[in-house]
Amino acid sequence: MEGVVAVTRGCMTFRSISLQGRPGLSLHHCLSLLLLLSFSMVLHATVLPEDRADLMYHRYDGGGVEVDGPSILVRKSFGGNISLNANYYVDSISSASVDVVSTASPYTEERTESTLAMDYLHNKTLMSLALTQSDESDYQAETGSFSISHDMFGDLTTVSLGYAVGNDDISRNGDNDFGASIKRQNYRIGLSQVLTKESILGIDFETITDEGFLNNPYRSYRFLDPLSANGYGLQPERYPQTRTSNAVAMRLKYFLPYRAALSGEYRYFNDTWGIDAHNLEFGYTHPLQQDWVIDVRYRYYTQSAADFYSDLFSRQNEQNFLARDKELSTFQSHTLGLMVSYEFNTERWQFIDNGSLNLSVDLIRFEYDDFRDITDGGVAGEEPLYSFTANVIKAFVSVWY
């Protein structure tokens, strides 16, 4: 469930914060509605991406966490078979989540990320190479990726392969003696098939391996302690040092006669920590007049808990691995999304061919089955189950030149 999340419809790459940030801040909470897009699916014949520039502002607000900032991407092709792009992305983070206020103090953080990438087209084969660097006060990450896609059978079938490797360095604010690292590897294979002139099917498979310090250095698990005033004690979490996850996704898009389209998507995920997750998403794209387009979508996500997760352990050091991260618990989420796009002509602008203005709003509801809100008081283990609503807003402009 980790990695880079890309918004693929006419805007720049949109990346989530790292899972290893401060307590209560995670990939799922920041951009869970975009999780399915971590698998790339080619929906057209292999061509170089168009020359364009994108400027975006994004904002997430939910569960006591606020994340916002700008992003800019510029892409330019050379010689008909090479395309270069650069992306710069900023997250300003403020967190007073249920995790933070119950075990630590609210905090603010800034994360910056820069990416340089190149695409090379040879006949019907497209090769891509990207290097990404991300910096926070307590987390530095470097990632390199390579992918290749090839069209065959009259451009009706596209096969794609991808590999990425990352090395992350973790520190802990206020503790100069703490230092850890993670090595990540990602393997992807995909198939896109034109079924009819109106429909296209995509199937993708992904495997991720992580090795190193995989838990949050600030987070604690809790255990029953009758001698404590609130009935429980806190100790630092302990995770396994390896994790392998697999995911398979299937997507179907059907184009309607009046320039509209229906889409459906299902994704299954599991890992060696015992988590099983299911994603189901439906979308509809509808043109309004000549220049306006509306996208609506609904997404349902559900997952089981990790084998070593518990909201409240019966005693201290009950087992080898112990976690109370709500992202490893049993929960489900519902997402309703709406995006409005306006495409404008720029005949009077000498260096710009056309452009688009876009606004996307998503409303997400999270409901946890075995994670309790200990800020609400009550008897340990009998506090109310936690739930919250989050909003994600993206406003961006794209220009093609």
Which domains does the chain show, CATH number per domain?
27-400 (2.40.160.40)
What pTM was computed for the model? 0.86
Q: What is the dihedral of CA 230, 231, 235, 239, to 10 degrees?
A: -120
Residue 43 backbone zone (phi > 0: left; psi -120 to 50: alpha; other: beta): alpha
pLDDT, residue 41, reads: 38
What is the tens place of the pLDDT at every residue in 164-209? 999 999 999 989 999 999 999 999 999 999 999 999 999 999 999 9
As a whole number, mean pLDDT of residues 365-388 equals 94
Structural tokens at position 2: 């980790």
Q: Please report the pLDDT score of residue 3 as a whole number.
A: 29
According to DSSP, the residues that pair with 77 across neighbouring strands are: 83
Least confident of 21-25, 119-123, 322-326, 366-370: 21-25
User: What is the structure's pLDDT at 45?
Assistant: 52
| Cβ atoms of 109 and 134 closer than 8 Å | no
pLDDT at 5: 29
Quickly state the pLDDT bin for 36 (edges 50, 70, 90): very low
Query: Residue 399 pLDDT more than 90?
Result: yes
Q: How far is CA 353 from CA 50, 154, 345, in A?
A: 11, 30, 7
Give me the pLDDT at residue 65, please: 94
Average pLDDT (273-299) is 95
Highest mean pLDDT among 17-21, 205-209, 347-351: 205-209
Instruction: Give Cβ neighbours of residue 54 (< 8 Å, ≥ 6 apart).
Output: 11, 12, 71, 72, 73, 74, 396, 397, 398, 399
Q: Which of 95, 32, 26, 23 is nearest to 390 (CA)?
A: 32
Average pLDDT of the segment spanning 360-372: 97
pLDDT of residue 4: 27
Dist CA 384 CA 110 (whole Å): 32
pLDDT tens figures, 84-130 = 999 999 999 998 888 888 777 788 999 999 999 999 999 999 999 99
pLDDT of residue 21: 34
pLDDT over 70 at 262, yes or no: yes
Report the pLDDT averaged over residues 316-327: 96
Rounded Cα–Cα distance for residues 33 and 5 (Å): 10
**Average pLDDT for the chain:** 88
Q: What is the pLDDT of residue 47?
A: 84
316 versus 79: which is more confidently predicted? 316
- The better pLDDT of the pair 70, 26 is held by 70
**pLDDT value of residue 107:** 83
Confidence of residue 318 (pLDDT cuts 50, 70, 90): very high
Q: Give the range among 42-46, 69-73, 270-274, 292-296 with minimum mean pLDDT.
A: 42-46
Whether the pLDDT of residue 78 is over 60: the answer is: yes
Helix (H, G, I), strand (E, B) or coil at 339: strand
Residue 12 has what pLDDT?
A: 30
Which pLDDT value is given to residue 261?
96
Judged by average pLDDT, the poorest of 8-17, 49-58, 64-73, 166-175 is 8-17
Question: With 50 as the cut, is the pLDDT of residue 273 above it?
Answer: yes
Q: Is the dihedral of CA 204, 74, 293, 350 positive or negative?
A: negative
- Give the model's pLDDT for residue 322: 97
Nearest of 91, 114, 103 to residue 17 by alpha carbon = 91
pLDDT at 22 over 80: no
